[in-house]
Structure 1
Amino acid sequence: MRFPHITEDKEYRGDWQDDYKRKLVSAEDAAKVVKSGDRVALPFAHPTQVPLALGKRKDELKNVYLEINAPSVDPGWLQPGWEEHFFVGAINFLGPMGRPSHDAKVTSFIPCLMSLRPKLIDEGRRNWKSDIDVFMTNVAPPDKNGFCSFGPHLWNKKSYAQRAKTVIAEVDENMVYPYRGNNLIHVSEIDYFVEAPTPRVTDEQLRELILTTVKDESKHQVWIDVLTKANKHEPEYMARGYNLMGPLMDILSPDFFTGVMGLEDPYPEAEVMAGYVRELIRDGDTIEIGAGRPTTWLPRVGLFDGFQDLGVHSEMTAWGQHELIEQGIFNGKRKTLHRGKAIYSALDGAGWDGYLWMSDNPLVEMYDCEYVHNPTVIAQNDNMVAINSVLQVDFTGQITCETQFGPRMINGPGGQLDFHLGAFMSRGGRAISMLRSLAFGGSSTIVPQLPEGSLATIPRQFADYVVTEYGIASLAGKSHRERANDLIAIAHPDFRAELKKEAQKLFYP
């Protein structure tokens, strides 16, 4: 069902207040815009109410293609049995909710650089429908000039909205805004508004939820401590996920949830690894910090303490980094692009205090992934340093952050390849891959060859520096044999003898 009276060509209107009221609908009516055969896009940190309403229309729809960045809500389409109605293509990230669906082969992954998705919409490809029929996003309420902010979770929302045939926006009055840069969309550019504020959840509500849903009473206090801490650090995400948490707490462990929220304490090796990374950083460098362990802990373990005039050009931030901006360690004085500004596509990782400090702060600007993640833009920063967490590295320098022990996807690459390539091409740039020498379960993360079915995120031609708790392997420009020797030197001591034997078989006559 379409509403022709409000889907005329989008153009700036001075009477935006009337325009907004005219476009205001319920979540159920907004969901009726989607028809069979449509391609619907949900961005990172996507809305919840309209997708849930869309799921209720399952029996009315067929062959709806859902392009979802890091699925965070499941009306049922992540489960077997809905494939005739909804096909789920996860793009960029799987996340903890998308991973089981991918394991069950319900969800299929779309490999694509985050910076290049808009290119495929603009240019298309043979025998492939690239257009986005409906895009669903969330925004803050309009300001006095009729502009809505995408808030701290911009990611790829702007580029999707600029290209979609129909844009639906859930309006969240509790979203933190505004932010500098290019993080706004005008009321005239949106086709439908659904007012869906995310009410904050109290600690007492979380306690009651735990007591009534977690069957194992011995875990009650642990869950209470974890969720109370999470509610202080990320109240927005906690509020969005409140109605979904109950069933998950009997499936997931408190430790797993702590890791997903980025609240766990750094493991002991993190500080040692940061010490090695410190050897690769110089005053005046521009830094990107990727998601995951151990990179997300780097500001908290003192990696950047004592450096001068560091800059930021990053897809996201990390807990504690905004404090280093405030202290002047990250001041961007020597940046060749956006001098004096910390550039992000999202502020995920900063936590609530970080969102508030960076809001309307002239030191911080946000731009869409189409720009921030573009390797040719990243490379314009002289002395660009990309620091990312990975899962496995093989002797030839192939690196994966997506799979481990074979074809099972742990996650998507996010922006890692974008930033690794951009830093590698930057004048004076360095691309650093970090991993512990042992995987969970005790096997070596440095392997002779990636297991069959593994996905190589970083091609070996672009391998640069690899860091474990045992040192630094510098791989660029070296032969397979030289790389193997350097990687064995930073592998866990318990595996070095066996790895040397494998290197002899592979690379010596």
Structure 2
Amino acid sequence: MREKRQTKFVTPEEAVQAVRDGDWVDYGFGAGFPELLDRALAGRKGVVRDVKIRGGLVIRPRIEVVELDPEQESFTYYSWHIGDYERKLQSRGLVKFMPAMLRSLPYLYRDGHIRCDVAFVPVSRPDGEGYCGLGISNYAWRTIFESARTVIFEINEKLPRLQGVDGSHRVHLREADYVVEGEHEPLPLRSYREPGETDLQIAKLVVEEIPDGAVLSLGVGGVPFTVARLLAQSDRKDLGCHTGTISDAFLELWKAGKLTNGRKEVDRGRSTWNLAMGSQELYDWLDQEPQLFRPGDVDYVHSVERISRMSNVISINGGVEVDLMGQENGESAGTRQLSGIGGQMDFLEGAYRSKGGKGFVCLNATHKKKDGTLKSNIVPCIAGGSTVSAPRTMIQYVATEYGVAKLSGKTLRERAEALAAIAHPDFREELLRYARENFY
């Protein structure tokens, strides 16, 4: 057994010899990143051809296969979800975007709609029995590597070691064809700016809608974080977590004694999540208190049916713009991709179907254009070229600093009037005029 274990352990340079011309290589998603294998694969520039790298929401400052091959002689990078760093790559023409709902990814791999030839899977240090945790990015790893030709585990000594209370976040060394290890950089951190006056006003309005025992799904923007901060200072109690990405927002609630998960009908007593992204303190919390969490595959966490089995699910996400019918653009500026849909539709629908649940799209009423003038983020219609991220039938509540509009059960005209009422005052008459002319 020891001899077999040792033969799996190879250098990163040896492991990436498994990558062939024309292969699809999966790097994973979020703050988990196979940095040793990425560096080693970049060293094969000019040796391999047409290797396609798939990842998303990368928050570390560098992907070596991209930066060392800007001519794309050997490597092309594809993203499910544009993160801050990937936006910079996009401006240089070095990333190709692939739209997808995250919950659909396992089906795409499992049913052969897309393929993975080689999986670079970041894992935590193994325990005495050879089990590793999936660190801060459970993602869809199990489905992906079960469909892959070659599986390479990269042991990152800095990843939290939790494996899930029922093994939901666990893999075994025997499941890998090769294992690499070595010294890693500190884990990439995601910080939040201090909330501005507008963020605070929106968050205050949303917090008024959140009852005791609510199960929270919080996006990663400024408003969701501010909502958590206000909840931590409020009299709310017995809050729960079932979210795509666990962040410092939930850590703040836990430190305030508000996050107990005590009323959840699913995973009672535990916070459920798929990715982790935040401060080192957040990662230490996951490592030191593993019994508090139920990390799971993306199709477990993002399952609309599972979310809807819980009461009072509150989903809070940011948006770019909303039109008067209630359609939301949450991810693009014209044809320029800013992020991705992620799990927004999953949690909006899950909250809609939850008893007492509410799904919120939160956005500033306006933004400043380059010439300093204001533009309304509530618009007559989503402009051609921009994305409709969530259809009008799925948007339940929209919040700006001027109020909360409830759209469900309303006609087109009533929706338009409700949305115009929470737009910036300078734009309300223009929006109402459009509504009168187009909706009856």
From 479, 482, 493, the equivalent of 2:414 is 482
- Post-superposition offset of 1:111: 1.4
In structure 2, the residue matched to 1:159 is 143
Q: In 2, distance between residues paired with 1:317 and 1:291?
A: 9
Q: Secondary structure at the match of 1:466?
A: strand
After TM superposition, the structure 1 stretch with the greater mean CA deviation from structure 2, 184-193 or 497-506, is: 497-506
Aligned amino acid, residue 236 of structure 1: L
Q: Does 1:451 align with 2:383?
A: yes
Q: In 2, distance between residues paired with 1:304 and 1:190?
A: 46
- Post-superposition offset of 1:78: 6.5
| Structure 2 CA distance for partners of 1:279 and 1:402, relative to 1, 3 Å | same
Q: Does 1:170 align with 2:159?
A: no
Q: In 2, distance between residues paired with 1:448 and 1:79?
A: 44
In structure 2, the residue matched to 1:467 is 399
| Structure 2 CA distance for partners of 1:282 and 1:454, relative to 1, 3 Å | same
From 219, 225, 234, the equivalent of 1:290 is 219
**TM-score, normalised by the number of residues in structure 1:** 0.79
Q: Does 1:187 align with 2:173?
A: yes
| Structure 2 CA distance for partners of 1:80 and 1:357, relative to 1, 3 Å | closer
From 3, 19, 30, the equivalent of 1:34 is 19
In structure 2, the residue matched to 1:77 is 66
| Structure 2 CA distance for partners of 1:320 and 1:291, relative to 1, 3 Å | closer
- The answer (yes or no) to whether the contact 1:342–1:364 under 8 Å persists in 2 is yes
| Structure 2 CA distance for partners of 1:297 and 1:279, relative to 1, 3 Å | closer
- The answer (yes or no) to whether the contact 1:79–1:101 under 8 Å persists in 2 is no
Q: In 2, distance between residues paired with 1:449 and 1:286?
A: 32
- The answer (yes or no) to whether the contact 2:232–2:258 under 8 Å persists in 1 is no
Q: In 2, distance between residues paired with 1:19 and 1:90?
A: 36
In structure 2, the residue matched to 1:352 is 280
Q: Secondary structure at the match of 1:77?
A: helix
Aligned amino acid, residue 46 of structure 2: D
What is the CA deviation profile of residues 163-207 of structure 1, one whole-angstrom value per residue up to 9, with x for unaligned ones? 3221112212222322534111100011111112225xxxxxxxx
What is the CA deviation profile of residues 288-308 of structure 1, one whole-angstrom value per residue up to 9, with x for unaligned ones? 001123213322234672112
Q: In 2, distance between residues paired with 1:357 and 1:64?
A: 37
Q: In 2, distance between residues paired with 1:440 and 1:76?
A: 36
**TM-score, normalised by the number of residues in structure 2:** 0.91
- The answer (yes or no) to whether the contact 1:19–1:187 under 8 Å persists in 2 is no
| Structure 2 CA distance for partners of 1:382 and 1:302, relative to 1, 3 Å | closer
Q: In 2, distance between residues paired with 1:162 and 1:343?
A: 23
From 415, 439, 442, the equivalent of 2:367 is 439
From 27, 38, 52, the equivalent of 2:39 is 52
Q: In 1, distance between residues paired with 2:301 and 2:9?
A: 32
| Structure 2 CA distance for partners of 1:26 and 1:295, relative to 1, 3 Å | same
- Post-superposition offset of 1:106: 4.0
| Structure 2 CA distance for partners of 1:440 and 1:369, relative to 1, 3 Å | farther
Q: Does 1:305 align with 2:305?
A: no
What is the CA deviation profile of residues 39-68 of structure 1, one whole-angstrom value per residue up to 9, with x for unaligned ones? 111112221121222122222222222211
- The answer (yes or no) to whether the contact 2:233–2:256 under 8 Å persists in 1 is no
The 5 A counterparts of 1:229-244 are 235-237=186-188
Q: Secondary structure at the match of 1:178?
A: coil
From 196, 204, 214, the equivalent of 2:182 is 196
Identity across aligned pairs (percent)? 31
Q: Does 1:413 align with 2:341?
A: yes
Q: Does 1:148 align with 2:137?
A: no
By percentage of residues, which structure has more strand? 2
Aligned amino acid, residue 17 of structure 2: K
- Post-superposition offset of 1:327: 4.1
Q: In 2, distance between residues paired with 1:326 and 1:358?
A: 13
From 110, 115, 121, the equivalent of 2:109 is 121
Q: In 2, distance between residues paired with 1:361 and 1:85?
A: 41
After TM superposition, the structure 1 stretch with the greater mean CA deviation from structure 2, 140-149 or 292-301, is: 292-301
Structure 2's unaligned 5+ residue stretches are none
- The answer (yes or no) to whether the contact 2:316–2:361 under 8 Å persists in 1 is yes
- The answer (yes or no) to whether the contact 1:171–1:197 under 8 Å persists in 2 is no
Q: Does 1:96 align with 2:96?
A: no
- Post-superposition offset of 1:419: 1.2
Q: In 1, distance between residues paired with 2:286 and 2:180?
A: 27
Aligned amino acid, residue 120 of structure 1: L
Aligned amino acid, residue 391 of structure 1: V
- Post-superposition offset of 1:428: 2.6
- Post-superposition offset of 1:501: 2.5
- The answer (yes or no) to whether the contact 1:64–1:87 under 8 Å persists in 2 is yes
- Post-superposition offset of 1:400: 1.5
Q: In 2, distance between residues paired with 1:180 and 1:391?
A: 35
Q: In 2, distance between residues paired with 1:343 and 1:81?
A: 39
In structure 2, the residue matched to 1:241 is none
| Structure 1 segments of 4+ aligned residues over 6 angstroms from their partners | none
What is the CA deviation profile of residues 339-377 of structure 1, one whole-angstrom value per residue up to 9, with x for unaligned ones? 12111112213x222222232432222112121012222
Aligned amino acid, residue 423 of structure 1: A
- The answer (yes or no) to whether the contact 1:103–1:408 under 8 Å persists in 2 is no
- Post-superposition offset of 1:380: 1.9
| Structure 2 CA distance for partners of 1:433 and 1:304, relative to 1, 3 Å | farther
| Structure 2 CA distance for partners of 1:374 and 1:461, relative to 1, 3 Å | same
- The answer (yes or no) to whether the contact 1:80–1:106 under 8 Å persists in 2 is no
Structure 1's unaligned 5+ residue stretches are 1-14, 200-234, 239-260
Q: In 2, distance between residues paired with 1:159 and 1:124?
A: 11
Q: In 2, distance between residues paired with 1:290 and 1:451?
A: 25
- The answer (yes or no) to whether the contact 2:397–2:406 under 8 Å persists in 1 is yes
| Structure 2 CA distance for partners of 1:184 and 1:76, relative to 1, 3 Å | closer
| Structure 2 CA distance for partners of 1:395 and 1:102, relative to 1, 3 Å | same
In structure 1, the residue matched to 2:352 is 424
Q: CA RMSD in A?
A: 2.2
